[in-house]
Chains A and B, each alone.
Chain A
């Protein structure tokens, strides 16, 4: 089991490392094209930050809260998938994003919310045990998927999709914070990332965009 998991992680790391080179270039392009001018990214249809050129869904495998390998690409096929990197001890951004997504999904038509997956990847694997991640996600929505893996692997994945790696700041034995990206990435059913949602996205924005994303309007 451990060896299987190790192989899975190594595969993920290798795949992600290949993507890293292109991810870095895309990150630079993203900053050049829309990083400094949020007004230009948004369209009349979607309230999130729309990418000029969509990015492919990353291929990685991490461990879910039941201890099983979770192949992100395969498991989220045909779903609108919101991918977020954070940690359960996060005092502000992570619980607000999760709470807002959860609140909106509960109010949407089940035909819409049933076609959405929310995937949370821990950037603090030392403290975020599977049980802790599960318990934390359950306070928002038991259907949210929690994933965990070595921080190096998670950071490789993040770099591959143009996000900065997570870093431990204010380090102390047990009471430290983790610097991490604040965007929720929205992968649509064409397996592409068309739009990202920064911190500050409000429930009414999610409620506006999710049905459109589910119905293929991006």
Chain B
């Protein structure tokens, strides 16, 4: 089995291998190692732990048991996976990349143009939220998560949209005109509101939204409704907590920066 997907078989706690997940994580690790060695950036030792932590979270979110549970059994685990893929893994991977390595990777003109395009706040906002809303449409979830390729597509869409989103917040390269600290805080806060839409649907819907999870073989005594409500809470609370937490950190960074410059924010 390459990637986790909804198999519609009874859940079992017997371990299952997902070599595709291992290959993907190993490929990222090898790419990172080769990339940072080629550039020999002094930042590497300081940043490497973040990248390793990002890979670790990515592996945990994709492999057994979280991967298959979220792909085909529990909507709450699916939502937790979304949070990890979109709000935890991308900032860790991005922050773990030394700046010189990023510069080397985006040096080719085509890639640089693409990055410049994706670095525009409105474009990043649109991509992140369209992916978030699109990958939570019932037809998309019910239609794609029943195949390995479909689930892989959704997972990669989350990861790539998350990288585009967090690029705005972390602003890794000064020459690409990153947002100011207040701009980043505003960008984060604006992104709190749209996830409220699917979160509200999940929490307050009378009946299950996704056929996939409603008709999945049950796991424990967790009712479909309780699972869906928990998914809504995870979407709202966990996503909001990360966004507000990051906004707070950015505020204090902004404050410190202004103090250094002799201004008050």
Interface of A is mostly: helix
B223 and A99 contact, CB distance less than 8 A:
yes
Of A139, A202, A207, most B-chain CB atoms within 10 Å: A202
In the complex the two chains form, what is the Cα distance from A103 to B227 in whole Å?
13
In the complex the two chains form, what is the Cα distance from A199 to B217 in whole Å?
12
B224 contacts A by Cβ under 8 Å: yes
How many positions in chain B have a CB within 8 Å of any CB in the partner chain?
17
In the complex the two chains form, what is the Cα distance from A26 to B105 in whole Å?
69
Of A47-55, A88-96, A112-120, which stretch is located at the interface? A88-96
Chain A, interface residues (CB within 8 Å), range: 10 to 19
Which of B207, B211, B218, B225 interacts with A95 by CB under 8 Å? B218
B96 contacts A by Cβ under 8 Å: no
In the complex the two chains form, what is the Cα distance from A100 to B207 in whole Å?
9
In the complex the two chains form, what is the Cα distance from A212 to B214 in whole Å?
23
A204 and B217 contact, CB distance less than 8 A:
no
Chain B residue numbers with a CB within 8 Å of A91 are 10-11, 217
Contact of A92 with B214 at beta-carbon distance under 8 Å, contacts A99-B224, A202-B207, A204-B207 already known: no
In the complex the two chains form, what is the Cα distance from A107 to B207 in whole Å?
10
A6 contacts B by Cβ under 8 Å: no
Chain A residue numbers with a CB within 8 Å of B149 are none
B221 and A100 contact, CB distance less than 8 A:
no
Chain A residue nearest to B215 (CB atoms) is A96
B10 and A92 contact, CB distance less than 8 A:
yes
Q: Within the complex, what minimum Cβ distance (angstroms) separates A172 from chain B?
A: 15
Chain A residue numbers with a CB within 8 Å of B223 are 99, 103
Number of A-B contacts (CB under 8 A): 44
In the complex the two chains form, what is the Cα distance from A200 to B142 in whole Å?
13
Q: Within the complex, what minimum Cβ distance (angstroms) separates B236 from chain A?
A: 23
A203 contacts B by Cβ under 8 Å: yes
In the complex the two chains form, what is the Cα distance from A193 to B69 in whole Å?
38
A203 and B214 contact, CB distance less than 8 A:
yes
B208 contacts A by Cβ under 8 Å: yes
B211 and A202 contact, CB distance less than 8 A:
yes
A103 and B225 contact, CB distance less than 8 A:
yes
B175 contacts A by Cβ under 8 Å: no
Q: Within the complex, what minimum Cβ distance (angstroms) separates B230 from chain A?
A: 15
Which of A139, A202, A207 interacts with B215 by CB under 8 Å? A202
0/1 string, A70-109, CB within 8 A of B gives 1: 0000000000000000000001100110011001100100
B214 and A202 contact, CB distance less than 8 A:
yes
B206 and A107 contact, CB distance less than 8 A:
yes
A203 and B218 contact, CB distance less than 8 A:
no
Chain B residue numbers with a CB within 8 Å of A104 are 207
Q: Within the complex, what minimum Cβ distance (angstroms) separates A144 from chain B?
A: 15
Interface residues of B in 201-248 (CB under 8 A from A): 206-208, 211, 214-218, 221, 223-225
Contact of A139 with B221 at beta-carbon distance under 8 Å, contacts A202-B215, A203-B207, A204-B207 already known: yes
Shortest 8 CB-CB contacts between residues of A and residues of B: A91-B10, A92-B217, A203-B207, A204-B207, A95-B218, A91-B217, A92-B10, A96-B215
Contact residues of A with B, CB < 8 Å?
91-92, 95-96, 99-100, 103-104, 107, 139, 199-200, 202-204, 207
Name 24 interchain pairs, CB-CB below 8 A, sorted by A.
A91-B10, A91-B217, A92-B8, A92-B10, A92-B218, A95-B218, A96-B214, A96-B216, A96-B218, A100-B214, A100-B224, A103-B207, A103-B223, A103-B224, A104-B207, A139-B221, A200-B215, A202-B207, A202-B211, A202-B214, A202-B215, A203-B214, A204-B207, A204-B208
